[in-house]
């Protein structure tokens, strides 16, 4: 491919990746790269969130991306709060795009609304959080690293990886493989923003590098990973390939690409991990 065509394709992918975002173009081009963020993540200065205390024989947790809390405070986190109580959810994970434009107002609303759910939670970084001035600084000061692991009840290992700009990078791959190797004997779930499989939306919304997609699929297969859960696409997708579940689950208050917003609910019981889908019907209160 010529350099001119490569540049045109790259710009197209970039525009699609940040569609719907009030983009800070300076931060789009000059934000901290994945190498910068991994240096911060692995520096020892950012403390990973502590494991949630659960009943190791029975616990439940939810995962979704794209809360997209807006400047007026609108989101579906109020609906989710009610579901968390009704379904006995012990904790939840938000897989990037906590905010819509990462303004100070949205950052304050997002933190307050996540706290208001009344359950422990874990987060990783999305492109809408990253591509604004101070986005990465806010995220790491508020939530800690964007790449880390948590072991729950000596049963489930959650591996959060940073794909906020659509790539992993070699250093993160090395870290991920080492952590997967240390998780043998546990059910392992990889949690991130960009998906590998994109369902019914255009392919440029997944991790764009064919090499990185193949490498990640190979790692998940080799280590018997139970699931990979991502957002970025505003839709729902589940496919099971070579023993691993691949989910896309997003929960924006508006702007769904297809389907209804919602979350994946995982349950550990009877020495096994199961899942179910819960949706917020469009137009419902």
Reported confidence tier of residue 49, pLDDT bands at 50, 70, 90: very high
Distance, CA of 148 to CA of 50 (rounded, Å): 11
Q: What is the pLDDT at residue 9?
A: 41
Residues in the chain: 285
pLDDT at 166 exceeding the cut of 80: yes
What are the chain's domains? 3-279 (3.60.21.10)
Cβ within 8 Å of residue 257, ≥6 positions away: 200, 201, 233, 234, 235
Q: Is the pLDDT of residue 167 over 80?
A: yes
pLDDT at 13: 44
Residue 7 predicted with pLDDT over 60: no
Confidence of residue 257 (pLDDT cuts 50, 70, 90): confident
d(CA 12, CA 2) in angstroms, rounded, equals 15
Is pLDDT of 5 > 80? no
- Indicate if the pLDDT at residue 27 is higher than 60: no
pLDDT of residue 189: 98
Local confidence band at 283 (pLDDT 50, 70, 90 cut-offs): low
pLDDT digits (tens, 9 = 90+) for 90-121: 999 999 999 998 889 999 999 999 999 999 99
Q: What pLDDT is stored for residue 8 in this prediction?
A: 36
| Among 148-162, 173-187, 245-259, the least confident range | 245-259
pLDDT at 31: 82
pLDDT tens column, 209-233: 999 999 999 999 999 999 999 999 9
User: Does residue 126 contact residue 17 with C-beta atoms inside 8 Å?
Assistant: no
Spatial distance between the Cα atoms of 126 and 124, rounded to a whole number of angstroms: 7
- Name, of 6-20, 241-255, 264-278, the range with top average pLDDT: 264-278
Strands (E), the chain: 58-64, 91-95, 121-124, 148-152, 156-160, 187-191, 227-230, 236-241, 244-249, 262-269, 272-279
CA dihedral 33, 234, 176, 228 (to 10 degrees): -170
**Judging by DSSP bridges, how do beta strands 227-230 and 244-249 pair with one another?**
parallel
What sign does the CA torsion over 56, 57, 58, 61 have?
Answer: positive
Per-residue model confidence as pLDDT tens digits over 52-74: 999 999 999 999 999 999 988 88
CB atoms closer than 10 angstroms to residue 2: 7
Q: What are phi and psi of 62, to 5 degrees?
A: -110, 150
To which H or E segment does residue 127 belong?
helix 127-130
- Tracing tokens 């009030």 back to the chain, one arrives at 22
- % of the chain with per-residue pLDDT over 90: 74
Smallest CA-to-CA distance from 230 within 63, 19, 76 is with 63
Question: 50 φ, ψ to 5°?
Answer: -75, 155
Contact 164, 130 (CB under 8 A): yes
């Amino acid at each position: 491919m010529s350099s001119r065509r490569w540049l045109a394709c790259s710009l197209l992918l970039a525009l699609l990746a940040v569609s719907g975002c009030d983009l800070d173009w300076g931060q789009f081009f000059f934000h901290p790269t994945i190498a910068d963020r991994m240096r911060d993540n692995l520096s020892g200065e950012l403390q990973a969130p502590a494991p949630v205390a659960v009943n190791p024989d029975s616990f439940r947790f939810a995962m979704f991306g794209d809360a997209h809390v807006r400047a007026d405070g609108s989101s579906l986190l109020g609906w989710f709060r009610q579901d968390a109580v009704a379904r006995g959810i012990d904790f939840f994970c938000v897989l990037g795009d906590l905010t819509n434009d990462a303004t100070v107002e949205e950052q304050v609303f997002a933190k307050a609304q996540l706290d208001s759910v009344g359950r422990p939670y874990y987060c990783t970084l999305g492109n809408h959080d990253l591509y604004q001035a101070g986005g990465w600084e806010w995220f790491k000061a508020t939530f800690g690293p964007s790449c880390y692991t948590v072991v729950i009840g000596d049963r489930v290992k959650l591996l959060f990886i940073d794909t906020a700009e659509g790539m992993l990078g070699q250093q993160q791959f090395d870290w991920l493989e080492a952590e997967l190797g240390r998780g043998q004997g546990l059910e392992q779930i990889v949690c991130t923003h960009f998906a590998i499989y994109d369902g019914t939306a255009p392919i440029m919304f997944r991790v764009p590098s064919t090499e990185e997609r193949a490498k990640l699929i190979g790692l998940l297969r080799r280590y018997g990973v139970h699931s990979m859960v991502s957002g970025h696409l505003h839709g729902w997708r589940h496919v099971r390939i070579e023993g691993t579940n691949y989910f896309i689950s997003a929960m924006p208050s508006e702007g769904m690409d297809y389907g209804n917003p919602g979350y994946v609910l995982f349950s550990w019981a009877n020495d096994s991990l199961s899942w179910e889908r819960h949706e917020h019907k469009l137009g419902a209160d």
